[in-house]
Structure 1
């Protein structure tokens, strides 16, 4: 598709939402009829579907991806005095969750080709106080989870995947979410699997962690007590996945693999069409099958290139403009320079990427990017 007036938006959700509209309306009619707006069959059904999809025993729906990270860290006993290693080029929520849990983030650099953490960059940030590693599957691509899981085992550290951008991605044939003690997903509307509002989930095969999360997401209520509604055993919060969003997610999950295949097709168009002398497409490791939440290039004079693309009706994004270790709330936790993260931040540009983007539109984006960079270089 091409948007009206020859515009190509950075993101357009109308296509995916149109596909599920009838099924969602039917499901919502049933929710209205039964008045089961919080919890209930719709939520437990989606949790079971999502766990099966990810290859884990359990999924616990929560209100958003940030809560998923925060509650998992607390559920694993991570708090004051503990450190958690995390890449600095992630969305701020990853670091925010560590601090909210009372722990300290330790920032790691990344590989210059993939912009993903490696076992080596993570290890370089580990200290005696480190309790966990959080590799981020940035832009929908997974790092070498085999090597990272081996590192975590060797050092006795917990592994928690931030898979908020990687719905359906795989490493060595295993889906995102199936490697760590737990993995955290966001279902923000723009994600590959997106709700019609905020939503999130934790996947895990740790039954004890699930019991804690079920309590913590519901004000710390006892789950098995005779009158658990009024018995609060742990410090919790209000982070429940509502039934309306669960209906949307179940409907979209049926189509996720097809939509991800479309994203991979579009990424292949960019890879074939973009001149490497103009811009460098973020690479993917052999063994990874990314879900391509974002299509990111590194380009010189990024802001000028972005403005020129906008002038030609092509929308773009930046993910992310500022590394977390340079942000005011987290700078106190920085322990040194991170050369790759810092050098890439001013060169990142996210190109249009959504399942219903047409091949011709992706070709036009690549061609105009090539032409604009050539012009600005002169």
Structure 2
């Protein structure tokens, strides 16, 4: 099997598994309990928070742990809206291509009489037009939320440039960094955002845990429903083993980020070049700024779900979009600038790589791709001959 769906989820690393097992066995107490066993668990939780805080160059109190990326996104938006000095009707600016966890939440918020939401389209290169964004700002604009890296196309949004403009107007700025954290350097954008959301299972940590980074200038207010965890922002017993494992994986990815990015850039270029040389009918989606771990493609003449099943039959795992949207038939909104119509959008598939992807994997993928599409072309030709006979 060749796994090419790392944008959906990743296997737990050896260090993540080792830490999880150790903490689950030896520090099993409830971190909120007052006895010594609970205190030891709290010490582990504090260490994990300090590790993430160091990665974000902030204080531990600015890190909030959650149950994963979706809760991180929703809690981040909810917290920033409560922290906003605008107390009457609030205005949110976002894009039409946000992750489903936020896009549908913003759709629901827009139905409220107290909230107005503007959904910005993407430009021809898949990026937000900053001038168009600034033109939509209103006196009651409370929040802008723009995803850092698209999980379908890998396009990187100009977060730092957007953030600089919003700072001038005292508007809170959130970015969903779930696809970028651990893959590309976030340090250039940290001074220009008020909040970033991340997830563990995208970076070789356990599922069911995520985190939020809040800038120190954000004054967080406790959730109106009384809660007693994570600075009063959320309920539920904190999963200390998963959080410790997450922090260990995050630290490992941070230490390897330069090497991994170099490797991923090479793997992406090798993959695209081999596809081109073999004339495999897959058109990679390209943009001036892309995360090298993600290669979205448009097939020439066959639907993406059928192509995905053919790859699966040949031992290669790919996807046709976000695993969080399985069951929905909508074409990924982020690919709209790169397709001419819905029929073309239905031919979208995604390969996503990691530092574990090898040259041999790429050679095998391309060889099987060639085999799949040669057979599909023959079937198509034979079918056309038959109906025209």
- TM-score in same-fold range (> 0.5): yes
The equivalences for 1:208-219 within 5 A come to 208-209=218-219, 211-212=220-221, 215-216=222-223, 219=226
TM-score (norm 2): 0.71
Please list every run of at least 4 consecutive aligned residues from structure 1 whose deviation after the TM superposition is greater than 6 angstroms. Answer: none
Tell me what 2:365 maps to: 365
- Return the offset for 1:181: 1.0
| Cα pair distance change 1:361/1:205, threshold 3 Å | same
State the match for 1:108 in structure 2. 120
How many residue pairs match? The answer is 342
Q: Does 1:138 align with 2:140?
A: no
Is the 2:91–2:117 Cα contact (8 Å) retained in structure 1? yes
Q: After TM superposition, give the deviation of residue 352 of structure 1 in Å.
A: 4.8
Seen in structure 2, the aligned counterparts of structure 1 residues 143 and 14 have a Cα distance that, compared at 3 Å, is: closer
Partner secondary structure for residue 143 of structure 2: strand
Aligned-pair CA distance for 1:203: 0.9
Do the aligned residues in 2 keep the contact of 1:186 with 1:201 (CA within 8 Å)? yes
Please give the alpha-carbon distance, in whole angstroms, between the structure 2 residues aligned to 1:346 and 1:89: 17
Q: Deviations over 1:34-83 (max 9, x none)?
A: 64499712222222211221334432212222222222223223588323
Verify: 1:26 aligned to 2:41, yes or no.
Answer: no
Measured at CA, do residues 22 and 155 of structure 1 come closer, stay the same or move farther in structure 2, by a change above 3 Å? closer
Q: 1:201 aligns with which of 208, 211, 222?
A: 211
Q: CA deviation at 1:22?
A: 2.9
1:69 aligns with 2:70: no
Do the aligned residues in 2 keep the contact of 1:118 with 1:148 (CA within 8 Å)?
no
State the Cα distance separating 1:124 from its structure 2 match: 6.5
The residue that corresponds to 2:96 in the other structure is 88
The runs of 5 or more residues in structure 1 that have no matched partner are 225-233, 329-333
Asked if the contact 1:38–1:242 (Cα under 8 Å) also holds between the matched residues in 2, the reply is no
Q: Which SS does the other structure have where 2:316 is aligned? A: coil
User: Secondary structure at 1:159's aligned position in 2?
Assistant: strand
User: What's 1:163 paired with?
Assistant: 177
CA-CA distance at 1:17 after TM superposition? 3.1
Residue 109 of structure 1: how far off its partner (Å): 1.9
TM-aligned CA distance change 1:321 to 1:311, over 3 Å:
same
Whether the 8 Å contact between 2:10 and 2:203 is mirrored in structure 1 is no
Which 5+ residue runs of structure 2 have no aligned equivalent?
Answer: 30-35, 382-389
Q: What is the aligned partner in structure 2 of residue 317 from structure 1?
A: 319
